Amino acid sequence: MKTMTGLVKEKPEKGDFVLRHDLPVPEPGDDEVLIKVHCTAICGTDMHIMEWDRWSQLRVKPPFIPGHETAGVIVKVGKNVTERKPGDRVACETHIPCGECWFCKNGMPHICSNVKLFGATENGAFAEYAKIRADSAYLLDDSISYENACLFEPLGAGVHGAEAAEVCGKTVLVSGCGPIGLTAVSACKTFGARMVIACDLNDERLAAALEMGADHIVNSGKEDLLKEVLKLTDGIGADAAIDITGSGAAIRAGLRCVRAAGVMVCVGLPTNEVSLDLTNDLIYREIKLTGISGRKIWETWYDFSKVMNGPYFRPEKIMGRKYALTDYKKAFEAVRAGVPGKMILYPDPADMDV
């Protein structure tokens, strides 16, 4: 049996991942591919799994290999696989749909009712090799580096938010300028938004939003957001708002910035229930309020490729530090310490310099 190095969540309790050198290299099933992992980014979900929060207790069953924001090269395919071949560079869609439920059969596999999760309910990619169903492996063209490919999964929600807001030709407010918000800003501009107003409480993040395509920035801790938006939109309000913050106050403020008959898309997840003045802020003004979940398979991925190759997206504003997989403790410490940007782990340290 061939073995590999990887991280394992060993027990159903609070505790760090454990580095193991004796894990079996997975054997791809008939419909699966085996990927030699180039790099895998750390996600908030991985931190939750270590903390063993409520979500983890309900969804995941240790022992398993975590890690899902990954890209690499296919080295082996199962016997039914015709659309992928060894040598293909791919990134992985975390939401593995069943293909059988009503949503899968009606073109909405991203909200499948029996969804499995790569790196949570299935073994993932904090390892030298990972296997996944061939139809969950997104083929990368050569213009996209493995590092940027790791961003599709975590930041795709920002692109999906811009898709749902149908921003072409519109004035758009984006609330929240962390990595997903910055991606939403650059997606809106790439998709032809007429004007993007970015809002946050942090001036550094707002400066990054300007570099990623925002036409105007508003620090809502210092300025009156509604007043600024009305000033910039001839007193009408924004055609669309996209909330990345998940903060009740920001959602309420964003809703009031949308013009009558406009649209608001919620991307950020509030921790608690949010109360809204539906009568005055939504119903009388005929606002459409919607949420998005993850990425559309594969529309969001195709669109994100265009965003990545477009003039606005700046991956260096989003990338954090690189670590060898065996140095994983330092990487997770950096995340806990709040070091900004995505931390990326490399099973083969030689890949870090390329």
**Close Cβ partners of 189 (under 8 Å, ≥ 6 residues apart):** 196, 212, 213, 214, 310, 312
Cα dihedral 270/213/194/221 (nearest 10): 50
Cα–Cα distance measured from residue 271 to residue 147, given in angstroms and rounded to the nearest whole number: 30
Which CB sits closer to Zn ion, 119 or 254? 119
Binder among 19, 50, 98, 226 for Zn ion (CB under 5 A): 98
Contact region for Zn ion (CB under 5 A) — 68-76, 202-210, 212-220, 344-352?
68-76
Neighbour-count burial for 198-208, b at 16+ CB within 10 Å, e otherwise: bbbeeeebbeb
Cα–Cα distance measured from residue 237 to residue 252, given in angstroms and rounded to the nearest whole number: 14
Active-site residue, from 38, 40, 45, 160: 45
Closest approach of Zn ion to the CB of residue 98, in Å? 4
Contact region for Zn ion (CB under 5 A) — 67-75, 82-90, 201-209, 229-237?
67-75
Which residue(s) pair with 172 in the sheet?
196, 240
Smallest CA-to-CA distance from 198 within 230, 180, 171, 175 is with: 175
Please give the residues from 288 up to 347 whose contact with Zn ion meets the rule CB under 5 A.
none
Which CB sits closer to Zn ion, 98 or 289? 98
Smallest CA-to-CA distance from 226 within 249, 247, 204 is with: 249
Please give the residues from 29 up to 58 whose contact with Zn ion meets the rule CB under 5 A.
43
Question: Is residue 104 involved in binding Zn ion (CB under 5 A)?
Answer: yes
Number of residues that bind Zn ion (CB under 5 A): 8
- State yes or no: is 48 an active-site residue: yes
Closest approach of Zn ion to the CB of residue 138, in Å? 15
Max Cα-Cα span within the chain? 69
Binder among 42, 112, 195, 244 for Zn ion (CB under 5 A): 112
Question: Is residue 101 involved in binding Zn ion (CB under 5 A)?
Answer: yes
Which CB sits closer to Zn ion, 115 or 195? 115
CB 205 within 8 A of CB 177: yes
Which CB sits closer to Zn ion, 69 or 147? 69
Smallest CA-to-CA distance from 73 within 154, 152, 142 is with: 142
Closest approach of Zn ion to the CB of residue 251, in Å? 22
Residues marked active site are found at: 45, 48
- Residues in touch with Zn ion (CB under 5 A): 43, 69, 97-98, 101, 104, 112, 154
